[in-house]
Homo-oligomer: A and B are copies of this chain.
């Protein structure tokens, strides 16, 4: 074993202070980091269940909903996606996926493992799917569930969702939206959209660490899922009856049991991840304290400033302007520039991280995020100034000094 992997030689945790301006994770708000230092509680301690109830109340406005079932899944954002899909869709059922990027592909992947019959309606990476194409696909495949990503960071596009839920309901389908990358950064209107389940994560616009995933579930979806309830033999109770529908294919992601855990029944399921719950609670307190409208505006300004700065450098921004996410911007790597060399220089010389890309965009674009605690004017300006320098040092002749004033102007005050 090399000496640096001798466990007794590992020192106190001491990460460098990097500015994370990629597509997430981003730096957590210091209040969130401090909240995780609070002492733990037993999982059925009245103080603990009180905090759980507070979290439910805190996330309702963030999801734009009155849904009773608004809570946390104990895992990363991907865990909540799987919990939603495995609980909504049964094996053999047809599910329509609105696919316009890597995370749309993730939905198809998870649903394939669930055993659903997966159909897709697609757009090229960098575009979104028109609502009439979704309507036509619903008409064609007659799905039981329709699933989509809101903001797909792989392409930086945000799918418009006004009317989406109504379209699904009219066709008798349940609907699912992944809002991991946009929750508290762009408006999420679960109730107005009429969507049945929306999930998120803390590590993007909410400014927390990955590891806890907010979810909201409509009463309609909750009833559907309750019909699939199957309580573990070791903890069965007279007051919780099993449903008649097909058992959900995962125990950990069984939303029926998770709802019973978060209800006044307090059915024992997992042991709630207490420190992450404290983090999620603080993320939401910060977001609501700022005000959601102000927060959306801050993200919009950051996105406008980043885009304006990149364009002032002479770079080409990726994708459709009309549907760009406010909190992450794709930009083409100029011809002849080694994208990874620039990213390394950004990190090593400036302690700033910018993002690479996936699939058809790998090696073609960088992704620059400005979200949550990092959607701030000075962080956008510092990033743009550093990128100019790195591009020139990598031999690409950008004009020095144009990006920052353009970004300041686009920010607006």
Interface residues of A (CB under 8 A from B): 1, 5-8, 10, 12-18, 20, 22, 24-28, 33-43, 45, 47-48, 51, 53-54, 57-58, 60-61, 74-79, 82, 86, 101-103, 105-106, 108-110, 112-114, 154, 201, 203, 209-212, 232-235, 247-253, 268-276, 278-279, 281-282, 284-285, 288-289, 347, 353, 358-359
A48 vs B16: C-alpha distance when bound (angstroms): 10
Measured CB to CB, the nearest residue on chain B to A5 is: B57
Which residue of B36, B58, B75, B108 is within 8 Å of A252 (Cβ)? B75
B13 pairs with A27, CB closer than 8 A: no
Which residue of B42, B102, B211 is within 8 Å of A20 (Cβ)? B42
- Known contacts: A18-B45, A53-B5, A78-B252. The answer to whether A274 contacts B232 by CB under 8 A is no
Q: Which residues of B contact A233 (CB under 8 A)?
A: 105, 108-109
B282 pairs with A76, CB closer than 8 A: no
A310 vs B218: C-alpha distance when bound (angstroms): 49
In order of increasing CB-CB distance, the 6 nearest A-B pairs are A211-B273, A102-B234, A105-B234, A209-B275, A36-B36, A76-B270
B211 pairs with A211, CB closer than 8 A: yes
Q: Which residues of B contact A112 (CB under 8 A)?
A: 247
Which residue of B39, B106, B203, B268 is within 8 Å of A271 (Cβ)? B203
B13 pairs with A42, CB closer than 8 A: no
Q: Which residues of B contact A1 (CB under 8 A)?
A: 57
Which residue of B47, B103, B251 is within 8 Å of A234 (Cβ)? B103
B7 pairs with A58, CB closer than 8 A: yes
Seed contacts A8-B288, A78-B271; 7 additional CB < 8 Å A-B pairs: A33-B37, A74-B76, A75-B252, A76-B270, A77-B271, A210-B274, A235-B358
A252 vs B199: C-alpha distance when bound (angstroms): 15
Report the minimal beta-carbon distance from A43 to chain B, rounded to whole angstroms.
Answer: 6
Most buried by B among A6, A102, A252, A278: A252
A288 vs B5: C-alpha distance when bound (angstroms): 14
Which residue of B38, B82, B234, B284 is within 8 Å of A106 (Cβ)? B234
A408 vs B124: C-alpha distance when bound (angstroms): 71
Which residue of B10, B51, B102, B203 is within 8 Å of A58 (Cβ)? B10
- Known contacts: A54-B5, A57-B5. The answer to whether A247 contacts B113 by CB under 8 A is yes
A38 vs B24: C-alpha distance when bound (angstroms): 17
B234 pairs with A271, CB closer than 8 A: no
A82 pairs with B17, CB closer than 8 A: no
A53 vs B6: C-alpha distance when bound (angstroms): 11
Report the minimal beta-carbon distance from A162 to chain B, rounded to whole angstroms.
Answer: 26
Identify 16 residue pairs between A and B in the complex whose beta-carbon atoms are under 8 Å apart, listed by A's number: A7-B60, A15-B48, A18-B45, A20-B41, A33-B39, A75-B273, A76-B270, A82-B251, A102-B234, A102-B235, A105-B232, A106-B232, A109-B251, A110-B251, A211-B274, A250-B250
A39 vs B25: C-alpha distance when bound (angstroms): 11
A209 vs B210: C-alpha distance when bound (angstroms): 15
A194 vs B41: C-alpha distance when bound (angstroms): 36
Q: Which residues of B contact A35 (CB under 8 A)?
A: 12-13
- Known contacts: A8-B289, A13-B38, A14-B38. The answer to whether A271 contacts B76 by CB under 8 A is yes
Measured CB to CB, the nearest residue on chain B to A207 is: B40
